[in-house]
Chains A and B, each alone.
Chain A
Amino acid sequence: MDEAAVEQAADEERVGGFAVGAACRIDLGATSRQAAEIPVGLDPEGVVVDPRRRRAYVACSRSNCVTVVDLETLAPVARVAVGEEPIDIVFDEATDRIFTADARSDAVSVVDAETLAVVATVPVGTYPSGLTYDPAARLLYCGNSLGSTMSVLDLDTLETVATVETEPGAGAVGVDPSRNLAICVNFLDASATFVDTASWRPLGTIALGSGACAVGIVPERGEAFAVNSIAGTVSRIDLDRREVVEELLVGQAPVGLIVHPDHDRLYVSNRGAGTVSVLGVADGREWGQIPVGEGPGGVVVDPSDGRVLCANAGSGSLTIVEDLLAGPPPAADTGAAHPLVGRKLPAFALPDLDGVVRTSADWAERKYIVNFFASW
């Protein structure tokens, strides 16, 4: 709250000793709250969360390292040298290992998360730039941009299970275990290659927008979402029909994408805009844009608190931000009543400051005002 707002609050008429009005007013249009922007290294492109240790691992492509960030203290705590130009990164809880796609080394580095030592370097195709993994099937997928292939590695033995022909610019990979399907996005070819994960046979290629470079899957909808960085759109792909069914609008130069764990929204980082778009999965609308750092790339959601982590290649930092959007915003400011108006207040059971759980039944047959507030 700025000084003017503090003075305004002090001047407000008090209701029951408490200024219900402007006391803690923030911008009502605010859709996010930034927790931190942490310097990590040069050109950070990929980020992943280690939920048990409360850490983020950030692949800094020009520093040739992984920077370890403590998510409680919001500070970098270690750096691990990997291969040249690590672009994407994955963390496997089962083996407690971090994997980086080191583009200029044509290899994947394997790092022990406990000791932070590189325990293996696995050769893949030329210029690996995208990683994803299927923890249940114990497989790691790697798109090799200049090799025009997709490598599939066994997460436990680190052996190469398959090498599948794709198209030039292969990078990001999405996996739908329920359909035995992998979809590899080809940046230079502006296309996506569908691969049968039972036989490792390519099933066909579909055209995407130019600069296709990231993909996310929503299996229960049978849909994939691919980001087209040059076209400035997100393609909604029907996985069964294998066709693009809708083009969604986001910000300038979108490059990164993650599906929220609730599957109700996508986060798309807009490299040109310095923002992350919040995109509704069902309605395909942009609910809002969250400001982050310069040149944002890799984006993930911390599963433990739902915060969004975004690696900013331009500013060499990691932004941690809360998305405050509860759902799609109203279509326009038409003065329409809040959906709650006219309905019964949903029951609550919440602890007070003495730890006593109070329920809405305590206020039955009384008139009252519920004031939602935060101290910030």
Chain B
Amino acid sequence: MARSGLELILINVWEGNDAHAEAEMFRERWSVDGPILLDETGDYARELGIRGVPTNVFVDADGTVLEVGAVRLDELEAAIDRLTAA
């Protein structure tokens, strides 16, 4: 991510039990250094029409959503390239 100048925000959703503890374990397991936010009600995911996890939302500098989805590695790389170039 550093190479592309993009930032990554993780939002935990649909966790079921203790979202905070699960997200903390997730951070350790995957060495996440960006912010992890909790959408415990699922309201924000619902507002965005997110239907499954993981889902990535690519946001341009003016706040416009460029793409939604792109979780396969090749899709992800291509989407990162497009957002970097945008």
The interface of chain A, by Cβ under 8 A from chain B, is 12-13, 15-31, 33, 35, 322, 324-327, 329, 337-346, 348, 350-353, 358, 360, 363-376
Q: How far is the CA of A17 from the CA of B26 in the complex (A)?
A: 13
B34 touches A18 (CB 8 A): yes
Asked whether B56 lies within 8 Å of A371 as measured between CB atoms, the reply is: yes
Chain A residue nearest to B14 in the complex (CB): A374
- From A27, A30, A343, A350, contact of B38 by CB (8 A): A350
| Residues in chain B within 8 A of chain A (CB atoms) | 1-2, 5-16, 20, 22-27, 30-39, 44-69, 71-73, 76, 80, 83-84, 86
Q: Is the CB of A375 within 8 A of B15?
A: yes
Nearest-Cβ distance from residue A347 to partner chain B, whole angstroms: 9
Which residues of B have CB within 8 Å of A366?
Answer: 7, 61
Judging by beta carbons under 8 Å apart, are A324 and B63 in contact?
no
Q: Given the complex of chains A and B, what is the CA–CA distance between A19 and B34 in angstroms? A: 12
Cα A35 to Cα B49 in complex, Å, equals 22
Check A367/B61 contact, CB under 8 A, given A33-B16, A341-B67. Answer: yes
- A20-B8, A350-B37, A375-B22 known; A367+B59 contact, CB < 8 A: yes
Instruction: Say which residue of A15, A329, A374 sits within 8 Å of B15 (CB atoms).
Output: A374
| CA distance in complex: A341, B65 (Å) | 5
Taking CB atoms, residues of chain B closer than 8 Å to A33 are 14, 16
Instruction: For A13, list chain B residues within 8 Å (CB).
Output: 73
Chain A residues with CB under 8 Å of B16's CB are: 33, 35, 322, 376
A353 to B73, CA, bound (A): 27
Which chain A residues border B11 with CB–CB below 8 Å?
348, 350, 370-373
Number of A-B contacts (CB under 8 A): 203
Q: Is the interface of A mostly helix, strand, loop or mixed?
A: loop
Instruction: Tell me how far the C-beta of A317 lies from the nearest C-beta in chain B, rounded to whole angstroms.
Output: 19
Distance in angstroms between the alpha carbons of A302 and B61 in the assembled complex = 41
Give the distance in Å from the alpha carbon of A249 to the alpha carbon of B24 in the complex.
Answer: 44
Let me know if B54 and A342 touch, CB within 8 A: no
| Contact across chains for A352 and B38 when beta carbons are under 8 A apart | yes
Tell me which residues across on chain A come within 8 A of B50, comparing CB atoms.
326, 372
Contact of B54 among A358, A363, A372 (CB under 8 A): A372
Shortest CB distance B52–A (Å) = 5
- Write out the residue numbers on chain A whose beta carbons fall within 8 Å of the beta carbon of B83: 367, 369
Cross-chain contact A372 with B57 (CB below 8 angstroms): yes
Q: In the complex, which of the residues B8, B45, B69 contacts A326, with contact meaning CB atoms closer than 8 Å?
A: B45
Contact B57–A369 (Cβ < 8 Å): yes
In the complex, A340→B46 CA distance in Å?
12
Question: Are B9 and A363 within 8 A (Cβ)?
Answer: yes
Q: Is the CB of B56 within 8 A of A20?
A: yes
Are B54 and A21 within 8 A (Cβ)?
yes
Could you list 5 A-B pairs, sorted by A, with CB under 8 Å?
A16-B8, A22-B73, A26-B53, A345-B63, A358-B37
